[in-house]
């Protein structure tokens, strides 16, 4: 049983569980706190104690002034709660407030998914985790080849283990080397994050997510963030795939119904010759009207470049909702032209 921590002025709250620092608990709960080193050197994660009692703090190099100490300043990455707390902290609310990072990572795991996809998991150093918002992309690079732009498919609540969904037939040289060498590819540098469209948590509007093929990765990150933040609104997920193999995480999508109160998932197969617009028409016809006002919804679309703007145009002229976010818009042309 942990202690409840409330952050002012946002009112966001999280549980500080045993064995976790306040920073770890906040990030695990999906709250974007400014931080850098996670080890008490940079001072980025400073907060102020407004109510309650902190536990024993770990040693840190960063020095507060006497005035800051008098104001109750402390580092979230070095402290735990010893009672329920009210604190102030530097929360990030906008992707542009996250600095560009360059982190050397190791390949932690490569899993096959339905024969067509690789689920790549990279591990950052413990003291240099990646800070990002759900739905953002990064560039992966190894010496001697162009960088590969891809959406992070995992939740920002764990910046140390980063997941990516890769079509194993993708011609990018980095993907080819990954297929050939596996873990032997060596260290991979992650640069990012990029992308301005992230989850809009300001309003409790119904959320519609539409993914196409392996661009599902960006949507997965967003939905895991919805779960972590315990957002109450209805969630509808549609995953269009040009082959059955391309629904490579269908069971995982179904399992979200245990964590989300009002959630529907539908995998849609795109037959040969069927236009992407026909798929969207099917989606619109499937949206259940039971008490949900879809005119007030936010629609997030993640699709390969060749489909993305057609999907946006169709949705804009046919669907009720006009709040549309294109999650894969900022991926570089090379990746978008060849990914499918």
Footprint of ligand FES (CB under 6 A): 35-38, 40-45, 62, 75, 77
The nearer residue to ligand FES, 45 or 208, going by C-beta atoms, is 45
- Nearest Cα neighbor of 268 from 245, 294, 242, 289 is 242
Task: Please give the Cα distance from 159 to 192 (Å, whole number).
Answer: 12
Q: What is the 3-state secondary structure (H, E, C) of 130-166?
A: CCCCCCCEEEEECCCCCCEEEECCCCCCCCCEEEEEE
Q: Which residue has the tokens 């392996």?
A: 214
CB of 37 to ligand FES, least distance (A): 4
CB of 164 to ligand FES, least distance (A): 25
The nearer residue to ligand FES, 97 or 255, going by C-beta atoms, is 97
Question: How does DSSP classify residue 41?
Answer: S
- Nearest Cα neighbor of 207 from 298, 335, 339 is 298
Task: Please give the Cα distance from 189 to 139 (Å, whole number).
Answer: 8
CB of 101 to ligand FES, least distance (A): 13
CB of 57 to ligand FES, least distance (A): 11
The nearer residue to ligand FES, 131 or 136, going by C-beta atoms, is 131
Question: How does DSSP classify residue 7?
Answer: E
Q: What torsion, rounded to 10 degrees, do the Cα atoms 166, 338, 326, 313 define?
A: -140
CB of 30 to ligand FES, least distance (A): 18
The nearer residue to ligand FES, 37 or 229, going by C-beta atoms, is 37
The nearer residue to ligand FES, 42 or 86, going by C-beta atoms, is 42
Q: Are 156 and 244 in contact (CB under 8 A)?
A: no
The nearer residue to ligand FES, 35 or 248, going by C-beta atoms, is 35
Q: Are 117 and 165 in contact (CB under 8 A)?
A: yes
CB of 78 to ligand FES, least distance (A): 7
């Amino acid at each position: 049983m942990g202690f409840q921590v409330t952050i002012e002025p946002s009112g966001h709250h999280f549980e500080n569980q045993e064995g976790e620092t306040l920073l770890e608990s906040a990030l695990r709960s999906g709250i974007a706190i400014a931080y850098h080193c996670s080890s008490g050197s940079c001072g980025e994660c400073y907060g102020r104690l407004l109510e309650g009692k902190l536990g024993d703090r770990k040693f840190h190099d960063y020095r507060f002034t006497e005035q800051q100490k008098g104001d109750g300043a402390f580092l979230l990455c070095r402290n735990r709660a010893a009672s329920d707390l009210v604190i102030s902290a530097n929360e990030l609310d906008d992707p542009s407030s996250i600095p560009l990072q360059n982190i050397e990572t190791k390949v932690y795991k490569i899993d096959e998914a339905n024969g067509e996809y690789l689920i790549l998991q990279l591990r950052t150093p413990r003291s240099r985790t990646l800070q990002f918002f759900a739905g953002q992309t990064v560039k992966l690079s190894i010496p001697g080849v162009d960088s590969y732009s891809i959406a992070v498919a995992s939740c920002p609540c764990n910046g140390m283990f980063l997941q990516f969904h890769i079509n194993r037939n993708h011609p990018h040289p980095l993907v080819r080397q990954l297929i050939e060498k596996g873990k032997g590819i060596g260290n991979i540098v992650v640069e990012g994050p990029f992308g301005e469209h992230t989850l809009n948590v300001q309003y409790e509007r119904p959320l519609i997510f539409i993914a196409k093929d392996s661009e599902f990765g960006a949507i997965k990150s967003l939905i895991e963030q919805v779960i972590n933040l315990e957002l109450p609104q209805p969630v509808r997920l549609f995953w269009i795939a040009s082959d059955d193999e391309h629904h490579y995480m269908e069971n995982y999508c179904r399992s979200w119904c245990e964590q989300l109160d009002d959630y529907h998932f539908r995998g849609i197969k795109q037959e040969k010759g069927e236009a992407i617009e026909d798929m969207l028409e099917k989606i619109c016809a499937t949206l259940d009207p039971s008490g949900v006002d879809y005119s007030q919804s936010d629609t997030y679309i993640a699709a390969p470049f060749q489909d993305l703007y057609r999907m946006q145009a169709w949705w804009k002229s046919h669907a009720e909702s006009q709040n549309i976010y294109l999650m894969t818009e900022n991926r570089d042309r090379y990746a978008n032209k060849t990914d499918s």
